[in-house]
Structure 1
């Protein structure tokens, strides 16, 4: 499905909606990822000193993983009400569910004060974050796409996706500034709380701003004509839209591989495989995330002009080449990790195709639930399994990450090629 390249630009009202949606999405992803960046310090505060350091850190990452497990449940619940009661209410609620626990994480006393209640409370807060993030990305994509004109859905969706990945970039920058401004002992004592408090405060600000958003024209029309989903949207999905669910889960698998393997896992893999310094890998991660953000916006905008099938082939090939460039060619050129990482980020434009394919695959009555079900279940499965798969394969060959990314690019390309277009 292609559109006229000469279509009018986004209106001021649409740009305002995009800005508020992207700001909230960036803050939610920022809140979600800073936990991973600060996991070692969190482990020292919320688990007993008598435990070995590796065990405490493993427990902290277990809490991080709990957020992923909560995503499908939270996403499905919020999507249900988003399809039945309205997009705006749920879109505002997701920010509150993220801001409140993030702020409390920054204020929560440690194990020495609360004992076993400290990690248990942290687990509850982490589950709340996971539930919120499960509704944010699908809700945001549906919200901005239904506000945008039909000829600018790709651009609008891409700007929001860029805002989401920009939240990861924002988290990285804040952590770097934290370590640059404060002494190491200050950071480990209380400074680690600052990013959580900032995220919580700004999250409440984003929630307040989202109150001024209007319900989408698509939902208002469905509500006026009594065509909103009745009963359980999830049942309608499983009965009538199994192909769309399968194809959307396949493309989401590719999205997780691109982000997890080429961005999130890249620093520890490069430190282990090629003995690159932590400072260099952090710079490389920043470069990859920035280029990923630019790439998804550009590629998403191209869907307003070119067919999704053609772009899926081109972007799938680029994603595979980016993986091999980073993990196979970089070792031949010592000291060049940052440009190779930036190139791999630019090759991740396939990520921008995934939400657009899902938005087209589901009709408006079950669109929110369709995206949430497919995206969150696939992300929970493959986002959790990918690190384990890569860790198991890498000892056999250092290019295993590239092979895995290329394989998922093929899977996602097939998913997009056969995905139905009902929107």
Structure 2
């Protein structure tokens, strides 16, 4: 049984919680993603000037990747304490751990001032950012889902997911504005620091706003009953919830493929495959990111109305069709990129099924740890393999990226079906312990 009503409308308190959590998620994801938009400038400033360009780019994006590799460790540690001491504390800690290094990157001296200490410090900052983001998304999904009634979990996860993709949109808009207003020389000299300084301020604002959030009713009820986990939460997850972990990892594979291929790398792919101007691909990226931000919320509401399985069986084929339409249609006529990219972004909102599956897969006592472990480990593995797999597929077929997204989407649909089978014969409502 759950400690909160299973069927009630959203209250003003619920609305405030969802709004503050989603805003904080957007600002934190902005902090994490803004690096990639200025990676080329950072590479020239933080590494020796005589370094070959290919090596400079490898090291620059290697530092970016370090943030992803730090996600599982940070997420698991924060989830451990989230299950033992409370969701809210870790929810606030994650944004503090993101705001500080983002601000420091904006203030850091470059290679010209401190030599090799510059890339080392940059690496340390990215590791802290990765650890923070590893706790943010899983913690946020658990936090909002435990604050609302069972019949509003889809909407809660959709709003939070929309907030996270909204952070990517903020980063894209910031990069576009800076490149439009300032010359490349000005950006190289000092303007590149602005998005990081703004991001640090964003983070502290979000942390302040989270002071007004309260602990989740589910965790408070467990604490009152002294039903919180006494030993290692991860030990219980691995020993007693193996099938749930596998289902959640498979679902995360789909989310990773859609986000990494469709949202993050398609602009570069379209430039390379079809010679489309960077500005046009950037406009398409903004359109797609705005579309997924809106559709993630709509899909959450549909999940509450029709269920995860029904939304998966309809949304999966639509996602596959929209992805093929994007790559085939743009190849036939590059002028179609922006509308087709926006359509793919709308279909990509189906990723909201992933957090709903995850928060329902684990009991309250180990929910944070179960979600964090499944999501972060799967994201680290598939996030690293996806770009490689796409490049391999491209060597034989220009539709390789679409094939990959289609395959991962089918796997996500299988995970949704498996989750229904797992839930058969037991209450669907979020268990409190």
Pick the TM interval, shorter chain: over 0.9
Q: How does 1:153-172 map to 2 (within 5 A)?
A: 153-172=153-172
Deviation at 1:183, TM superposition (A): 2.1
Q: Tell me the matched-pair count.
A: 418
Q: Distance in 2 between matches of 1:23 and 1:83?
A: 23
Q: Distance in 2 between matches of 1:109 and 1:275?
A: 36
Q: How does 1:111-126 map to 2 (within 5 A)?
A: 111-126=111-126
8 Å contact kept, 1:318–1:347: yes
Q: Which residue does 2:72 correspond to in 1?
A: 72
Q: Distance in 2 between matches of 1:73 and 1:347?
A: 32
Structure 2 unaligned spans of 5+: 1-6
Q: Distance in 2 between matches of 1:54 and 1:29?
A: 28
Q: Distance in 1 between matches of 2:50 and 2:162?
A: 43
Q: Which residue does 2:316 correspond to in 1?
A: 316
Q: Which residue does 1:148 correspond to in 2?
A: 148
Q: Distance in 1 between matches of 2:9 and 2:157?
A: 14
Which ranges of 4 or more aligned residues in structure 1 deviate by more than 4 Å?
none
Q: How does 1:185-196 map to 2 (within 5 A)?
A: 185-196=185-196
Matched position secondary structure for 2:348: coil
8 Å contact kept, 1:143–1:216: yes
Q: Distance in 2 between matches of 1:331 and 1:117?
A: 45
Q: Which residue does 1:305 correspond to in 2?
A: 305
Deviation at 1:8, TM superposition (A): 5.3
Q: Which residue does 1:275 correspond to in 2?
A: 275
Q: Distance in 1 between matches of 2:181 and 2:409?
A: 41
Q: Distance in 1 between matches of 2:180 and 2:395?
A: 35
Deviation at 1:309, TM superposition (A): 1.3
1:45 matched to 2:41: no
Aligned-residue Cα RMSD (Å) equals 1.2
Q: Distance in 2 between matches of 1:81 and 1:349?
A: 31
TM-score scaled by structure 2? 0.95
1:362 matched to 2:362: yes
Q: How does 1:149-228 map to 2 (within 5 A)?
A: 149-228=149-228
Q: Distance in 2 between matches of 1:240 and 1:187?
A: 52
Q: Which residue does 2:413 correspond to in 1?
A: 413
TM-score scaled by structure 1? 0.97
Q: Which residue does 1:29 correspond to in 2?
A: 29
Q: Distance in 2 between matches of 1:197 and 1:307?
A: 42
Q: Deviation per CA, 1:198-253, whole angstroms, max 9, x where unpaired? A: 00011011111212211100000000101111111111011111010000000000
Q: How does 1:241-256 map to 2 (within 5 A)?
A: 241-256=241-256
